[in-house]
Structure 1
Amino acid sequence: MDKRFVVIVLDGFGIGAMKDTAMVRPADQKADTLGSLLRRFPELRLRNLERLGLMNAYGKESSCMKFAPCANFGKCELMHFGADTFIGHQEIMGTLPKKPDQHPFQEKAEEIRDCLEKAGYIVEVIERKGLRYLLVDEYATVADNLEADLGMCYNVTAPLDYMPFEKELEIGRLVRKVATVGRVIVFGGTGNTMQDLWDAEEIRQGRFIGIASSKSRSYEHGYQCRHLGYGVDPQVQAPSILGRAGYEVSLFGKVADIVNNEYGKSVSCVDTEEVMELTIREMGRMKKGFICTNVQETDLAGHSQSAPAYKKILEIADRKIGELMECLKKQDILVVMADHGNDPEIGHSKHTRECVPLLVYKKGMEGTDLGIRKTLSDVGATACACFGTQLPQNGMSFMSPEG
């Protein structure tokens, strides 16, 4: 019998600040991504998300969007610390979040250098204004990430015409063994040189030094990237569990860059129309398996603090979700959710710590209140339960094995 479990992650689409923000993220206490959009655009109408129970999950109606009596809905809290796309997706897939450290690269520079030298790499220490970062085998820099919250990530950056990505990734994995920050991000592109990396060198707050990725020309040609998370074991996540059990697993959009999927298909894509069309086509091909798609442009609009851009992307995603729903068969399950918030009107350009909607559609299932889930992992656990496999490391299913 055909069965597809499909998860659409509207990146950064929160529905109100979590209760703990006053203590852990005071700047997010008034965060409400959906609420901000509705205040700016009271005429906003997302017909398919409304039908799926968006306003039910939000807990109140707008002038144009109402409660849906037949919807299956709830909302999820974030178990992971902060509000992070990478860790959010690991949590969705069933990882029990482990709180990372937050500190400058300076605190681990010597330990990481020793680890790399013991593995046979040639390591040069680059010093600027009392700060250090590493150059490994002439072409890979290891330093602070300057794009995320400072101190949360390290970057390994290389021009891939001079160092193969596989070698750069080996260096990154050794850095990951020592580092205790949330992510080690290994990336590079072709067509650039070390001079481009030197030109992108920056110091922030007098404590953090790194290669500004947007200035390094890494994204222009041949871009490759791998995010290595702290405390993340892919083997206990839903994609690995389902893949080992013989089910197809397909990841589209940013999730393809950040979630391990050694048994399945991963296609990186940013454009919302394109990533949703890829998902719809996959539905037409796949008979039995798991699909997860990340709509990244909502998050990008939040970072840009552009409510009009956010509204436009949501409307595209809503229309394509409607097309996707037409492809669903009796046993198929659709979940629409988010990984955190990104309120475009909060006054800063960072992610916001918000609850996220949990909207579930299956033919014959109606009017189910799924309540407040304590972790995003309940989605990965539900996917595994519906296919009758072992459950991931974290999470509880909100549906029976029969769906």
Structure 2
Amino acid sequence: MAKMMLLVIDSFGIGAMDDCKDYVATDCQAMTYQHIREIKKEKLHIPTMYSLGLGALVDGKSEPGNAFGYSKLAHHGADTYLGHQEIAGSCPKNSTKRLMKDIHQDMKQALEESGYEVRYPIEGSPILLVNEAAVVADNLESAVGNIINITADFKKMPFRELKKLGNVVRKNVDTSRVIAFGGPHTSIEKILSCVEETDQNQWGVDTPKAGVYGKGYEVYHMGYGVEVEKQFPMIAAKHGLPVYRLGKTADVLHGKGVAEPIVDTTQLLKRVAEAYHQEKNDAAFLINVQETDLAGHSEDVDWYAALLNEVDSWLTDFIPTMVADDLLIIMADHGNDPTIGHSNHTREYVPILIVGEKVKKANIGLRNTMSDIGATLCDFYGLPMTAEGTSFLDEIIDRKEFMISCKVSE
């Protein structure tokens, strides 16, 4: 039996990409790991990750005994959701920034043609009320124009119906993301009372104020140009391979099976070890440590360093317990340099550290897309290939030494 694990340390970049000037010029100074290390000095203790390849990638130290490399971001910008779609094997298309003030009329017509009742609930506002149950509006928490939100009262529109509505909205707008979400403990009246206009011409719902989050909250992310069915988690599900989505991957990756959106790092890592050792069959584990990204958004270097210390300490204890045929890939999805002067993601290269008893000593170099991860996961289990990406499996293992029982079911 073989298990392959992907641990994404959210936002743990290792230096600005060469094309950073085409996005946010100031981000060309971003070096999330290096800047945290400079500021925290003796208080950052991550010897395991350093020895597994961070030292070789950042300081040019001698190559470690395992496999390692780094990757570009092929998707536009630096986004957790889009990054994970890319990692899973389907890189999102370049999107266009849109605001409801510019698209509301066409969106209203498209929704009505799909059978929905649509009206403008607030005079002078471009937001749309659908079936008296869900509000289509701008996202107020992302970069302006990147995301359209659909906020629903689950007492009037169940989540399964909201997802159908979300797919219609997705087909009719080319923003980077459409997010459909809601909860049972708010109301459409409360949601509408929390609509506001920003000084950047956005009209949206203040969702925390609207009481949407909490027990019973559900969310459905839809990326632009993403082929979900050709991503590793969905390919695996189709062929009967269990996939555990633990941490933020439960929210940002489509799939089936175990999905636990644990935010607290201590609880998450405890759950990962527990699930790994309990699972006796072939299985994949897709894990995201979200709090590092939250620390980046908070511009809190102390918190970020403490989280890295915790992850490294966990790896130090966990890696020796891995079974011989198992593989662990440690990486990031973008940067979020807490020292750069703003709280947004930074477009940085991400490390790839590959661990396992049978992993070769190998430098897999610079990958042009993080989709190589999804392709490698599929290759490891003998599954059909992802929409994009090139497997590096033969660079890191000798196939003859592995006993992988997972077979593609026809």
TM > 0.5 between the two? yes
Deviations, residues 355-396 of structure 1 (Å, cap 9, x unaligned)? 011000121334311111111011111111111222101111
The alpha carbon displacement at 1:97 in A equals: 2.7
Deviations, residues 201-253 of structure 1 (Å, cap 9, x unaligned)? 22123421100222221113321111111111211111122222222111111
Alignment partner, residue 33 of structure 2: 34
> Quick one: distance in 1 between partners of 2:332 and 2:136?
31
* Matched residue SS, 2:292: helix
Alignment partner, residue 51 of structure 2: 51
Paired-residue identity, %: 36
1:22 matches 2:21: yes
**Does the CA-based 8 Å contact 1:53-1:67 persist in structure 2?**
no
The alpha carbon displacement at 1:127 in A equals: 4.3
Alignment partner, residue 235 of structure 1: 229
Give ranges in structure 1 of 5+ residues lacking alignment.
61-65
Aligned mate of 1:122, from 117, 120, 134:
117
Aligned mate of 2:267, from 271, 274, 288:
274
Alignment partner, residue 407 of structure 2: none
**Does the CA-based 8 Å contact 2:247-2:262 persist in structure 1?**
yes
Q: Which stretch shows the higher mean deviation, 319-328 or 289-298? A: 319-328
How do residues 68-83 of structure 1 correspond to structure 2 at under 5 angstroms? 69-83=64-78
Alignment partner, residue 97 of structure 1: 92
1:265 matches 2:265: no
How do residues 384-399 of structure 1 correspond to structure 2 at under 5 angstroms? 384-399=378-393
Alignment partner, residue 176 of structure 1: 170
Q: TM-score, normalised by structure 2?
A: 0.92
Against the structure 1 CA distance between its residues 51 and 190, is the aligned structure 2 distance closer, same or farther, given a 3 Å change threshold?
A: same
1:327 matches 2:321: yes
The alpha carbon displacement at 1:67 in A equals: 5.5
Deviations, residues 139-198 of structure 1 (Å, cap 9, x unaligned)? 200000011111000000012233322222221111111111011111112222234323
The alpha carbon displacement at 1:324 in A equals: 2.8
Deviations, residues 79-116 of structure 1 (Å, cap 9, x unaligned)? 00000000100000000331111121222211221122
The alpha carbon displacement at 1:126 in A equals: 3.6
> Quick one: distance in 1 between partners of 2:200 and 2:260?
38
* Matched residue SS, 2:269: helix
How do residues 201-216 of structure 1 correspond to structure 2 at under 5 angstroms? 201-216=195-210
Give ranges in structure 2 of 5+ residues lacking alignment.
403-410
> Quick one: distance in 2 between partners of 1:142 and 1:151?
13
* Matched residue SS, 1:226: strand
Deviations, residues 261-298 of structure 1 (Å, cap 9, x unaligned)? 13x32221111111122211221122212110010000
> Quick one: distance in 2 between partners of 1:160 and 1:96?
31
* Matched residue SS, 1:150: coil
> Quick one: distance in 2 between partners of 1:14 and 1:349?
14
Deviations, residues 282-340 of structure 1 (Å, cap 9, x unaligned)? 21122212110010000001001111111111112222223331331111110000100
How do residues 347-358 of structure 1 correspond to structure 2 at under 5 angstroms? 347-358=341-352
- CA RMSD of superposed structures (Å): 1.7
Give the AA of the match of 1:17. A
Aligned mate of 1:224, from 208, 218, 223:
218
> Quick one: distance in 1 between partners of 2:363 and 2:227?
32
**Does the CA-based 8 Å contact 2:92-2:223 persist in structure 1?**
no
* Matched residue SS, 2:315: helix
Give the AA of the match of 1:352. T
Q: TM-score, normalised by structure 1?
A: 0.94
Alignment partner, residue 188 of structure 1: 182
Q: Which stretch shows the higher mean deviation, 356-365 or 213-222? A: 213-222
Give the AA of the match of 1:266. A
Q: How many residues align?
A: 395
> Quick one: distance in 2 between partners of 1:105 and 1:318?
44
